[in-house]
Amino acid sequence: ILLVEDEEKLASFLVRGLKEQGYSVDAAQSSRAGEAMAYENTYDIVILDVMLPDKNGLDVARTLRSEGYRGPLLMLTALSRTKDKVSGLDAGADDYLTKPFHLAELNARVHAVLRRKKLEGKNTLEYGNLTIDIERRQVSINDKTINLNRKEFDILEYFLLNKSRLVTRTALAEHVWGDNIDQADNFDFIYYQIKNLRKKLQESDATITIEAIY
Ligand code: CA
């Protein structure tokens, strides 16, 4: 992983957290250093801060893309406005995280992005008797399509991309409901969606289960 982040404290916290997950991480504190490292080494993922002292992270993303970097790009942004996220995605980013974020959320995103990369253009995933088409947002069990609402699909996809890993409810909430999740809110709405999702999976005899850990 290449991490380009100028805030020293945050950078060392993230490096430590990612290393604990078993990733090998290089850190750069400026755009120039980051670009140089990206040319010299091969990375599976580049995590890029938008606000950098020497050059905007979006421009770094464009540069890396135009220089041939095809791997995943994850942007870190302090800006939560939709416009900025769209610019990030236009610049070639695969995903973005709004600061402040939880380490668990970064780990989950990194894992999901790397899983997607492993699919290499394949849009369909199979888990037991369940097939999920990520492009068309369709889920079928034993070749029979099941109807999920938008949130149920997002939840299921997120769980599947983090298969066999612990997903915190906060990380799930942030991923599925966005950055404006108020920590003080109760999580009833998440439990409600998961309850429905579980019921639909069960009724269709899915061989996968969502397990809760308290
Ligand atoms: Ca910064």
For residue 164, the model assigns a pLDDT of 78
CA 53–ligand 1 middle distance (angstroms): 7
CA 112–ligand 1 middle distance (angstroms): 24
For residue 184, the model assigns a pLDDT of 45
Helices (H), 2-134: 8-20, 31-40, 57-66, 82-90, 103-119
Bond into 100 cis (ω within 30): yes
CA 5–ligand 1 middle distance (angstroms): 6
Measure the CA–CA gap between 139 and 208, rounded to whole angstroms: 13
Q: pLDDT digits over 60-118, tens only?
A: 999 999 988 888 899 998 766 566 666 767 777 888 888 888 888 898 889 888 877 76
The gap between the terminal CA atoms of the chain, to the nearest Å, is 31
CA 171–ligand 1 middle distance (angstroms): 22
For residue 174, the model assigns a pLDDT of 72
For residue 172, the model assigns a pLDDT of 82
CA 91–ligand 1 middle distance (angstroms): 18
What pTM did the predictor assign?
Answer: 0.62
Structure tokens at 63: 């540069």
For residue 74, the model assigns a pLDDT of 92
Residues of the chain with pLDDT under 70: 79-86, 88, 118-121, 178-186
For residue 32, the model assigns a pLDDT of 95
CA 202–ligand 1 middle distance (angstroms): 46
Measure the CA–CA gap between 99 and 110, rounded to whole angstroms: 15
For residue 182, the model assigns a pLDDT of 58
Q: Mark the residues whose beta carbon lies below 5 A from ion ligand 1.
A: 6, 49, 51
Report angle CA 155, 152, 87 to the nearest 5 degrees.
60
For residue 179, the model assigns a pLDDT of 54
CA 7–ligand 1 middle distance (angstroms): 6
For residue 25, the model assigns a pLDDT of 96
Measure the CA–CA gap between 165 and 174, rounded to whole angstroms: 17
